A and B are shown apart, each in its own frame.
Chain A
Amino acid sequence: MEITLTYYLMLSAFLLCAGLLIVLIKKNAVFVLLGIELMLNAANLNLVAFSKFDPSLDGQIFAIFSVVVAAAEAAIALAILLNIYKTYKSSDLDDLDTLNY
């Protein structure tokens, strides 16, 4: 069977949904970050997949950009998370409600 774009897209959609679900239901910030990474990678997958069926390399380049940005974002997010953990002794998102009051 020929692997068509649909398969890629369905995998990507699955990954995105999984990431979204993690983001929405996990209490721990680390998991939330993981969920975000998952969603980003779903997007990357999309980009690469479209690029495969397109003669230009634009999608590939976008994907690389996106990976780099994700890495940077993850690094910063983890740094913030560490600091939050240092301050609040917790990485539970529901405990971080100082700004709400």
Chain B
Amino acid sequence: MDTAQTYFLLTILLPLLGGMFTYTIGGKKGINVAVAAMGGGFVMSLILLLSVIDQPWVIRWKWVPGIELGWNIDTTAAVLMSLVSFISLLVHLFSKHYMFGDKAIDRYYGKLGFFTFSMLGLLASDHFLLLFIFWELVGFSSFLLIGFWFDDIQKAQGARKAFMINRVADAGLLIGVILLVVELDVNFISELKEMPFSPMLQLAGFGLMIGAFGKSAQFPFFGWLPKAMAGPTPVSALIHAATMVAAGVYLLFRTQEILTPDVLAVTAFVGGLTALMAAIAALTQFDIKKVLAYSTISQLGYMVMGVGVGAYESSLFHLWTHAFFKAGLFLTAGAVIHYYHHAHHHCHRFDAQDMRNMGGLRKILPVTFIAFLINGMALSGLPFFSGFLSKEGILSGALIWAVGHGNAVGYLVVVMAFVTAALTPFYIGRQILLVFFGESRTVNKPVEGMEPIFSVKLTLLILAVASIWIFSALNPFDGHGWWLGNLLFDDHVMPDTSHQFLLHVTMALSVILVISGLALSYRKYKPDSAVVLRFKTKQRPKGLLGKLSFNAWYIEDIYEKISDGFLNISKTSFQIDKKIIDRSIDLFGVSTVVFAKAMAIVDREIVDGLVNFAAWVSRTIGNAYTKVHAARVQNQLLWLVLFIIVIVLWLQF
């Protein structure tokens, strides 16, 4: 066992073992073990990163006859593993406070550990089948965590629906993976290279794309992510913002070499479309987590689009920055929800996630406010924050791609991307204004001194600070100056100088859009504005666009229709089974019995009848004969004599 293997095993197994220990033996007191193990895992992931910088670590082993699976830790995998470990560690820390007092907190930590293990395994997988295995495990652990409060049937349903939608997309991924492995003999991600176009490659590419769309919540699968908000908020931060949902982007990023131009074009278009649709959906939500959920979908759309347009590096960069600021946003939202939950715990019908009940938290939770503000600005793409840098690369990549192709769809993608860039600051500005500014809109007066404890504050601040530009790139306006860029990409070069003009256009345009978006949201949602005051009546948005937005394009209703249709097919099948197949079998059985009965009658009346008839005939004759001749020995003798005489006479003449 070489050292890299030791580090790797420790990295992925420590979180799992810590979680399992807590779940099985440790109980509520074992939480610290889980957190410590996670910390160890994070340290190990850093050591692993250092040990594979020069030389990727690859191992293969036989899984079943004919199929070898393998791990491959290159710098990309190691960096992302560190990222996952880090976010997971923060979530472990945060949850200690957030989940305090929950009766099943040990189970919670078990599931968290399992998720972290699966996610790390996914990142380290080299073989496509192994990737699929961890892909599914990630989905499964997400199911377990979303459904953590399974007593609440709504939440359990959310978990089920999220898993099902993922499963549908996973079927596409499975087909893609099988086609790659079996038909094209492409097994290992680390050995991918450009391949000549073939219809099979195209089909496999679309399979991978569908799988990626499922995990990364792209159209038409994005409906599962808002459902996933049923889970505890730290889980949303870990799984549904920073790590699992990025798996799709990671997959596309890893397989870029074999994706055909058609697949990439569809990817770019769907990414742009999802970014826009989700941004519009985020505009009107009242649930603090739902806004963030749609925002996540929208940002993932950016990343997917980035891969589609060829801006892989920027996509991965955005994945990186997004992981920090979105996890930060979710955790701060968690802190807010936690606060409201405890402030109003005596009031059962109070919805601690409804922004219409909030307001004025700036003074009550100052640290939370600052963290949320910084992360929100990073999300909106304001210069001097990390989000600006990474988004910049994607937007310019899209523009360069569109100009290069010069067709209408390409420009449509660009337009969608830029509209989204304007909508993002608008909805996040709205959220900040509604939650933190103005006065509390609830009846109860806010309780003072509810700022969370130190470990929580630390977690939030770490994430907030990480969203400042300097931790991503030295130059706050250089979208291609990622610190890690040189490490991750061998051919890390600045874009062609001929695109310099387009880069400047993108930058100018996006800064204008961000600022105008923020300004617009302040104009509309500033404290004491008419819109905000109306919230007390809790009405839903009106108008077509408002309804579309609030109901997220009715995607869930569409899912419902599809699943109802499926259920109907299923019921019809059962009726066929019962009424046709089983009935015909029964009919066959019954007709056999009827036939047998008929045969019995025939047997009794005809076959047996013949025999009986013969017997009857002989009996009748016999009877008649005995009546005539019975016991008359002399009569018999007489006949005898007569016959002898006849015979003698016969012989004589």
Chain A positions near chain B (C-beta within 8 angstroms): 20, 23-25, 32, 93-94, 96-97, 99-100
A and B contact pairs by CB, cutoff 8 A, 20 listed = A20-B641, A23-B634, A23-B637, A24-B634, A24-B637, A24-B638, A24-B641, A25-B634, A32-B634, A93-B633, A93-B634, A94-B631, A94-B632, A96-B631, A97-B630, A97-B631, A99-B631, A100-B626, A100-B630, A100-B631
Residues of chain B lying within 8 A (CB to CB) of residue A96: 631
Smallest beta-carbon distance B643→chain A, Å: 14
* Chain A, residue nearest B631 (CB): A97
Supply 17 further A-B pairs (C-beta < 8 A) apart from A23-B637, A25-B634, A97-B630: A20-B641, A23-B634, A24-B634, A24-B637, A24-B638, A24-B641, A32-B634, A93-B633, A93-B634, A94-B631, A94-B632, A96-B631, A97-B631, A99-B631, A100-B626, A100-B630, A100-B631
Size of the chain B interface, CB-CB below 8 angstroms: 9
Complex CA gap A25/B631 in Å reads 14
Complex CA gap A99/B631 in Å reads 8
Residues of chain A lying within 8 A (CB to CB) of residue B630: 97, 100
Smallest beta-carbon distance B317→chain A, Å: 120
Smallest beta-carbon distance A66→chain B, Å: 21
Complex CA gap A94/B631 in Å reads 7
Smallest beta-carbon distance B642→chain A, Å: 10
Residues of chain A lying within 8 A (CB to CB) of residue B632: 94
Smallest beta-carbon distance A25→chain B, Å: 7
* Chain A, residue nearest B634 (CB): A24
Residues of chain A lying within 8 A (CB to CB) of residue B637: 23-24
Complex CA gap A93/B630 in Å reads 12
Complex CA gap A58/B406 in Å reads 146
* Chain A, residue nearest B636 (CB): A24
List the 6 closest pairs (A to B, CB-CB), nearest first: A97-B631, A100-B631, A100-B630, A24-B634, A24-B638, A24-B637
Residues of chain B lying within 8 A (CB to CB) of residue A25: 634
Smallest beta-carbon distance A13→chain B, Å: 13
* Chain B, residue nearest A20 (CB): B641
* Chain A, residue nearest B629 (CB): A100
Residues of chain A lying within 8 A (CB to CB) of residue B634: 23-25, 32, 93
Most chain A CB within a 10 A radius of its CB, from B626, B634, B638: B634
* Chain B, residue nearest A100 (CB): B631
Complex CA gap A22/B630 in Å reads 20
Residues of chain A lying within 8 A (CB to CB) of residue B633: 93
Query: What per-residue 1/0 map shows which CB atoms of B569-592 lie under 8 Å from chain A?
Result: 000000000000000000000000
Residues of chain B lying within 8 A (CB to CB) of residue A23: 634, 637
Smallest beta-carbon distance A27→chain B, Å: 8
Complex CA gap A100/B628 in Å reads 12
* Chain A, residue nearest B635 (CB): A24
Smallest beta-carbon distance A16→chain B, Å: 11
Residues of chain B lying within 8 A (CB to CB) of residue A24: 634, 637-638, 641
Residues of chain B lying within 8 A (CB to CB) of residue A97: 630-631
Smallest beta-carbon distance B640→chain A, Å: 10
Complex CA gap A100/B638 in Å reads 19
Name B591-650 residues within 8 Å CB distance of A: 626, 630-634, 637-638, 641
Smallest beta-carbon distance A20→chain B, Å: 6
Complex CA gap A99/B626 in Å reads 12
Smallest beta-carbon distance B57→chain A, Å: 112
Smallest beta-carbon distance B457→chain A, Å: 122
Smallest beta-carbon distance B342→chain A, Å: 112
Complex CA gap A32/B638 in Å reads 13
Residues of chain B lying within 8 A (CB to CB) of residue A32: 634
Most chain A CB within a 10 A radius of its CB, from B633, B637, B641: B633
Complex CA gap A97/B630 in Å reads 8
Smallest beta-carbon distance A60→chain B, Å: 28
Residues of chain B lying within 8 A (CB to CB) of residue A20: 641
Residues of chain A lying within 8 A (CB to CB) of residue B626: 100
Complex CA gap A23/B633 in Å reads 10
Smallest beta-carbon distance A55→chain B, Å: 30
Complex CA gap A99/B632 in Å reads 12
Smallest beta-carbon distance B204→chain A, Å: 99
Complex CA gap A99/B638 in Å reads 20
